[in-house]
Structure formats: structure tokens, C-alpha cells
Chain A
Amino acid sequence: MAVNAMPLRRAKISRYWQNFGFWNIVTFGAFALLLFFLVYPLLAVFGQSLNSKTGDLLEGYRKFFSQPYYSNSLTNSLLVSIPATIGSLLIGVPLAYIVTRYSIPGRALIRSAVVITLLSPPFIGAYAWVVMLGRAGLVNKFLENFGAQVPSIYGPVGLTFVFTITHYPFVFLVVSSAIRSIDQSIEDAARNLGSNEIKTLFTVILPILLPSITAGVLLSFMTIVADFGTPMILGESFRVLPTHIYSEFINEMGGNPTMASAMSVILIALCLLALALQRYFAFKTSYNAQCVRPLEMRQPHGVTGALMIIFAGLVIFVSLLPIIVIFVSSFSIGRGSIVTSSLSLGNYERVLYNVTAAITNSFTLATISAAIDVLLAMLIAYVLVRGKTRWGGLLDSLVALPNAIPGTVIAVGFIIVFNQPPLLLTGTWMILVVSYVVRRLPYAVRACVAMLQQIDSSIEEASVNLGVPPMRTFVRVVVPLMAPAILAGGVMTWVTAISELSSTILLYYGPFSTMTVKIFSNVFTNEFGTASALEMILITATFVPLFLMYRFLGERAEQAL
């Protein structure tokens, strides 16, 4: 014993440095990054909300709840978010069940259309509906010839409609992946015990899906309530929390930073509540552990079958209509109204000539952000899954936090905090990259975590056993095996960063404006043609990588969403 005391201690020390030193640095770095670029700005927002001249700390909140001018935006937010969430539930769940269980024609097309809807920026959908149903809209003009009127797309009703049609994909994707993890034997057992098809659906299948449905619905609520672009385009005088925060914050005359911050805190509270519930329900789904044989596909038949096909067809038609409209209007001539007979490439020429910088900026910023996110996600996922830190639980929650923080709020926080030395980031391109990196980190980390959980750690041990040191093993074995997740996470970050509006609109500075900012300002100046051309470029920029990802990864790609 005395003889070997020395080598043993030396072994412990050297191993500590070789294996754990690096991962400790990663853990420390991840915490530092999230604390500095996420928690600190949020605390600053909270701090500013308590700032008052009269010494009454809660003055801002008192004012919020007592003055309808402010409290109305909360009521308005709930007034459209709740019906829209219910709407996305009523579309998402049946569509998921139909597409996953019935071999209706065009299933692959439906799935792609849903993913396309999910990943196109919601304000593009909003804008397309303005093109169709707005004051100078195609449909309105057409119907005016007959003296007919369509309900206004502006205001709460239009908002609810557009939110529903742009957010049901959240419910759809969560629920359809849950359906695919139910084993056929569960249904067989229920049928064997005497339940008919309908009864089995309601007493067995839906109860099993309930946690996933709840999780999907809360996810949908969270993104609706945080959405900025759609209410900005369709809301007009109907103000919701994100748009009110924005106008309160940028308004140089009579704007009130304290009120903007107080409203931000209330918006975060709403989102955090939804996130907490969503994580709780997502955690509860873990009971459907193993699926050996997925549910069998059925043939749609009879009236029910026809209704299913009509329902699915209608949903997909309405989902894809905005893209078709934008495509057509991008070739139209002139400003304002869309209705012209001749088509041209003039809009594209104008766009490529006039806003070259914005297009380049969008691509560059998205690429840098995606690269940084993927690198961080890879390392953080490894720390989390392989238990390289005892702070794993805290880190896991902190990494998921950006999901619940609306872009508008994080932008407000960034402006408060990074507006002065030592870290003067406002007015640089870096502030945009930092905001994209932090906000999209959860996607990339989740993709890498899911992948890593499927890689048995004995594969790494085998490599070490064959003489390859732990760090080189990470590079030579773990990274190649994580490649699909890295690709999926990167594409997701890229796609969502390039179409980001809510924080960009507050954080951008003249020379660093992006495509989304240009689209947005063109919509407000009624330059629909150029806006549409830019949108087509944006849509193509989103679809091409997604399409390639699906080609490479197939079914696995959807899991990454």
C-alpha cells in the first residue's frame, strides 16, 4: 500500500487536468455567457421597471394596472392569444392524427407544408394576408366590384386568424411525434378488451397524448404572445404587449422606459409561466418509453375519409396561400395595389441593386450566429449529457430560458446594459449576433442533447481504450456521430436567425439593417412589390437549407425541430 500511494495520487491529479479541466472551462464559459448575455440584461430590465422619480418602486406596475392605456395591451394580448391557441389546438391535433395514421394522398407534401409554415417568419404570413384582404387587397378589390365586403383583416379578429394559421404547426409537430411513439400493441390491447375504434381513440390514444398536446399548446401560446411582427402589421391601433413595449421604448417624445420595462417584465412572466408548464408536461411524457411497432396506417374510407382529406387539404391550402401570393406579387409592377396584368423582374432588380447590404448582412449574421451556436451547443450538450458538472440541472434550465424570452424584451435589456462602456455593443453588428446566438441556443443544444443521449458512452471508452486520449476521442468519435444533430441545429439557428425581426428591429443600426428590417419598412411604406421580392429571397434562403437537411437526415430532421 505504501509503495503505490504515490502513483495513485499522481494519477488522480493528472486525470483531473486531462479530462475534467477542459469541461470545467466549458461549464464555466457557458454559465458566464448565459449570465452575462441573458440573465444580466433581464435583471437590468427588471431593475429599470422599478426605477421611479417619486421613490415608489412599484409605481410602474401600479400605473400599468390602473391605466387602461397600458393594461389594455395585456388584455388585448390575452384576447387574441387564447383564442388563437385554442384554434391551433383544434387544427393541430386532428391534422396530426389524420396525417400520422391515415394514408391520405400527399402526406409528405402536408408535412413539408407544415414545416414551411412553422419556419417562415409569421409576419410574412401577416403581410400576405394584408395583400389579399387588406384595404387595397386583391380579394377586397375583386369583391368590391360586386358590392360585397369582407371582414377586416386588421384588428383582433384578423390577428387571431393569422396567429392560428401560423402557429398550429407547433401543436402538429409535438403531437405527431408523440403519436409515432405509441406502440400498436396498446391499441390492440384496447380493441381486444372490447373498445371500438372511436372509444379507443378517446379512452386510450388521446389520454396518452394529453401531456404532449398540452406541451404543444403551451409552446404555441408562448410564441403567439411573444410575436411582434404580426401585431405590428395587423394590429394598427389594437396594441398588444410586444408592440406596445416597442413603441414605448423607441418613442423619443413621451416614451417611458420605466413603463416599457414594466410591460416587459409582465410579458416575461406570462411566457415563463407557459414555459414552466410546458417543461412540466414535456417531462411527464417520458412514460411512453419504448415503441417497437408504431401504430398501423389506415386507409381513409367513406364520408369520414372524405372529410379528413378535405380538412387536411383546406388547412394546407390556407397555410401555403401566403407564399403563393407573395410569389406572384414579387413579379408585379408598381407600388401599392398588386393587381396588374403584366409581370416583370423589376422588383428583384431594384432589391438586388438597392438593398444589397441588407441581404449580405442577413446572410453573414445568420452564418456567424449559426456557427457559434453549433460550437457552443456541441460542448454544452456534452457537459449536460455526460454529467461533466454537478451544476447540470441549473445549466439545463438556464439554456432553456431563452425560449421564454420574447425578442423585444431581450432587445430592451441589451440596449439598457450594452449601451455604455465597458461593453459598448449597441450600434455594432456584434449585438445582433449575440442576440441571435443566445436566443437560438436552446434549439441547437436540444438537437445535440437528443443525439448524444443515443450514443452509448462505451463507444468513447472503446476509443480511449484503443489509445486515443479523451479530447481527441471527442473530436474523432463524438463529433462525427453528432454530425446529424450539428447539421440540424445549425440549419435551425440559421433559418430562424435570418428571419428574425422582433429583436433586430430594436437593435439594428443603419448600415447593419437586415432583410427583415427592409421588408418591414417597405410594408409600412406600401412598397409591396419590393417587399415581396425580398420575402421571396428570404423564403428561398430558408427553404433551401431545410430541403437539403431533409434530404440528408430524412425523418431525423423533424426531431430536431
Chain B
Amino acid sequence: MTQVKIENIVKQYGSVSVLKGINLVIEPGEFFTLLGPSGCGKTTLLRTIAGFLTQDSGAIYFDGECIDGYPAHKRNTGMVFQNYAIFPHLNVYDNIAYGLRNRRFSRQGIEKKVADAVHLVRLDGLEKRMPRELSGGQQQRVILARAMVIEPRVLLMDEPLSNLDAKLRVAMRGDIRALQRKVGITTIYVTHDQEEALAISDRIAVMDAGLVQQIGKPAEVYVHPVNPFVADFVGATNMLNARLVKYDADARRAWFDLGTGSPWQVPLASAPRGDQLALAVRPESLSFAGGVSAGANCIEAQIADATYSGAAIRYQVRLDNGQILQIQDHNPDQSAIRQLGERVQLVCDPARVLVFEGGAHGG
């Protein structure tokens, strides 16, 4: 198991900075995800670790050894590509054996290792098949076996599931995670799918605009996002512009004016700076107040739209100041489904409100 240390990596294309000083330490055996929107630099970072790109400055260490001097083919990283990059002219067996053949193993050694790898990814009996005779999921497993059989120091995965359909994607990510735990290999996984990242990772680095915005366990990133970008990118979030009315330092409690309805009370460890603030509220932290009007942290609204998805129903509601909020209602009773245009009272769990300095971007 290898520890990967990324130190101050900077990469520019002409005048465009793609990576603006990335620092990460990925622990041995960890499943670490780089999460971010397209163009955030996550794939560039992964390709730099693999050696396909050279950073302008900074260094990468595997177990304390600087690997920058090694070309891509000597780094011993196993990469899983977005579009599979399966060798179309080789069958399953030869695809998996490809990396081993270059390493001067004995014939028996290769046969044994390939057989183990085939078994590990459950492709037994398909060794002689050509790639075009395999389903998407099977091709994915060939690639996984091909990358793992060379016993790389680090497994690098570049959006490996993006070409699969939704059901298979969920099944495959479970497989990948189980496999990674079994082998215990340090893994760096790139994705733009926040749900996938939350489900699969030990830790996540949320990236935007060439910078790491936050590093943490999935629950930390979801529950305690450090800035509005992370709050918005990881899970859906309602952003409300708010003005600080007062802060009670003894009770560690703040009151905010939302420009509509009565002020909200939010527990807060320290006084926020400035008085233009943004409150972030997850759709599942809002609920309908059962008829009781004007309670604490209540707000009046009108149902604007509803999306029914079986296990839950998501409403869009319009506040009196015109702003649209999202609310998630789990296990809705059929009789409790709200009608369009219906006026409702919303109540918010104050413990789950996040306060960011500097106002919301847009709405």
C-alpha cells in the first residue's frame, strides 16, 4: 500500500491556469475521490500523477519518493480510462496479460496471475472473447483486471462509470469498492457525480477552478461544506440571502432577516463578519408546518411545481419575495401531496442551517 503526496502542483496551458497549487496527502489503502465540475482540473491532476502530463512546478511522492523523474511507463500506476481504452485487437486474456508480458514474468507466472485477476473480476470462462463480444460492464471489468494485475502502487480511475447506464453504474461502483477493499490498493478516483463520490469514497477532495475547495469524509463534506460552492455542488442546496439582525454571544445564537416572514434563529459558534450573508438549507431540512402558523423559523410560500419520484416528492415553492426554494418530502402519503398553487407554511430545522459570509450568488 502506497501513500501518495501531492505537493503544490501547478499546471498552466498558455495563460490558463488549470491547477493552481494542489496539496493532497492520500493515505495507504485509501479510496480517495477528486470531485468537481468539468474543467475544474481533476482529470489534469490524475493524468499528471500517471505521468501523461508534466506539472510546471510542484512534486508528487509515492511513499516519500519523488516520482517526477519517472516517465509514464515507469510509474507503475494502474489507470482505468473513461472510454475503457481496451485493446480491441486482443482478447480478454491478452488484454489482462499485456502489462505482465512486459515485465518478464514466466509463462506460468503470467497464467497464474491472469487467472487470479479474471476470477477476481468474475470473468471466468470469457478469457477467449474479443472486446467487441463483451457488454459494457464486462469491458469495464477487463480494464479493472488489466490495471490491477500488474500490482500497481496506485490505482487511478478517470470517470470509469460514465459510459454505463444508471442501474449498472450503481452495481459497478459497489463492485469496484468491494474489490478495492479486498486488494487494499490506494485508489484515486475522478468523478463529477457527487452522489457517486459520496457513495464510494473514504475521503473526497472537492475541486473547483484549479483549487481544492474542501477535503473530508463524505458526511463531513455533505453536512459541513466550507463554502457555498461545495454546499451547492455536493447535494442540492437552497441559498437564501440574509441580513444579520443580532448575535447573542452567550446563547451562541444568531437572528437573520430573510426579507420575508419573521427572522430565523440559528445556532452559531461565533459572530459572522459583515452583515450580508447567505444561509444554505438542504431541501430535506425543510418541511411543511402542519397548520401551525408563524412559529419559529417559519416561512410562508406557495407550491410552484412538484416532481414525484416514488420514494420522495420534491416541491418547488415560491416565497413572497419571488425566490424559489426546493423541498424534499420523503415517503409522502398520497393524501398529503400538495396541489399546485396551494399556500403552505415551511419550517426549517435550525441545526441544519449553514451560514456563509458574503451573500448568495444569484439565488
Interface residues of chain A, those whose CB is within 8 Å of chain B, are 1, 3-4, 7-8, 10-12, 14-15, 18-19, 456, 458-459, 461-470, 472-473, 477, 480-481, 483
Contact = CB atoms under 8 A, between A and B. Distances in A.
20 contacts: A4-B59, A4-B66, A8-B68, A11-B69, A15-B54, A456-B85, A458-B81, A461-B50, A461-B52, A462-B87, A463-B98, A465-B75, A466-B73, A466-B78, A466-B99, A466-B146, A466-B150, A473-B73, A481-B89, A483-B89
A518 B261 CA distance: 102
B62 to A, nearest CB: 13
- Give the 4 A-B residue pairs with the shortest CB-CB distance, closest first: A466-B99, A4-B59, A7-B69, A462-B85
B204 to A, nearest CB: 24
A465 B149 CA distance: 13
B107 interface: no
A552 to B, nearest CB: 14
A470 B77 CA distance: 16
B71 A467 contact: no
Nearest to A463: B98
Interface string B62-105: 00001011111111111101110111110000000011001100
Nearest to A14: B71
Contacts of A470: 73
A10 B74 CA distance: 14
A468 B68 contact: no
B57 interface: yes
B54 A465 contact: no
In this complex, the member of A1, A8, A12, A483 whose beta carbon has the largest number of chain B beta carbons within 10 angstroms is A8
Given A11-B54, A461-B52, A481-B89, A469 B73 contact: yes
A235 to B, nearest CB: 50
B8 interface: yes
B256 to A, nearest CB: 44
Contact of B99 (A10, A467, A483): A467
A364 to B, nearest CB: 32
Contacts of A19: 71
Interface string B227-257: 0000000000000000000000000000000
Q: Is the interface of A mostly helix, strand, loop or mixed?
A: helix
Contacts of B82: 458
B68 A466 contact: no
Nearest to A5: B57
B98 A465 contact: no
Contacts of B57: 1, 8
B68 A465 contact: no
A461 B79 contact: yes
B58 interface: yes
Given A11-B54, A11-B70, A461-B72, A467 B59 contact: no
Nearest to A8: B68
A1 B59 CA distance: 7
Contacts of B103: 467
Given A458-B85, A464-B72, A467-B76, A1 B150 contact: no
Interface in B96-155: 98-99, 102-103, 146-147, 150
A55 B76 CA distance: 71
A466 B71 contact: no
A121 to B, nearest CB: 35
A481 B71 CA distance: 24
A459 B87 contact: yes
Given A4-B59, A8-B59, A467-B150, A461 B85 contact: yes
B59 A3 contact: yes
B73 A464 contact: yes
B163 to A, nearest CB: 12
A1 B77 contact: no
A7 B66 contact: yes
Interface in B205-230: none
A14 B150 CA distance: 24
A344 to B, nearest CB: 50
A477 B81 CA distance: 16
Contacts of B7: 4
Contacts of A4: 7, 58-59, 66, 68
A470 B73 CA distance: 8
Nearest to B8: A1
User: Which of A11, A456, A473, A483 is packed against the most chain B CB atoms within 10 Å?
Assistant: A11
Interface string B24-65: 000000000000000000000000001010110111000000
A459 B143 CA distance: 11
Given A11-B69, A468-B73, 16 more contacts: A8-B69, A11-B54, A11-B70, A12-B54, A456-B83, A458-B83, A458-B85, A461-B81, A462-B87, A462-B146, A463-B98, A465-B50, A466-B146, A467-B73, A468-B98, A483-B89
A266 B331 CA distance: 84
Contacts of B147: 465-466
A458 B82 CA distance: 9
Contacts of A472: 102
A462 B68 contact: no
Contacts of A465: 50, 72-73, 75, 77-79, 147
Contacts of B54: 8, 11-12, 15
A241 B70 CA distance: 61
Contacts of A461: 50, 52, 72, 79, 81, 85
Contact of B58 (A1, A12, A477): A1
Contacts of B70: 11
Name the residue in B58, B73, B146 with the highest tally of chain A Cβ atoms < 10 Å from its Cβ: B73
The residue in A466, A469, A473 that gathers the most chain B C-beta atoms within 10 A of its C-beta is A466
A554 to B, nearest CB: 15
B113 to A, nearest CB: 13
A485 to B, nearest CB: 13
B14 to A, nearest CB: 14
| Most chain B Cβ neighbours within 10 Å, of A19, A463, A465 | A465
A264 to B, nearest CB: 46
Contacts of B68: 4, 7-8, 11
Contacts of B89: 480-481, 483
Contacts of A483: 89
A461 B85 CA distance: 8
Nearest to B76: A467
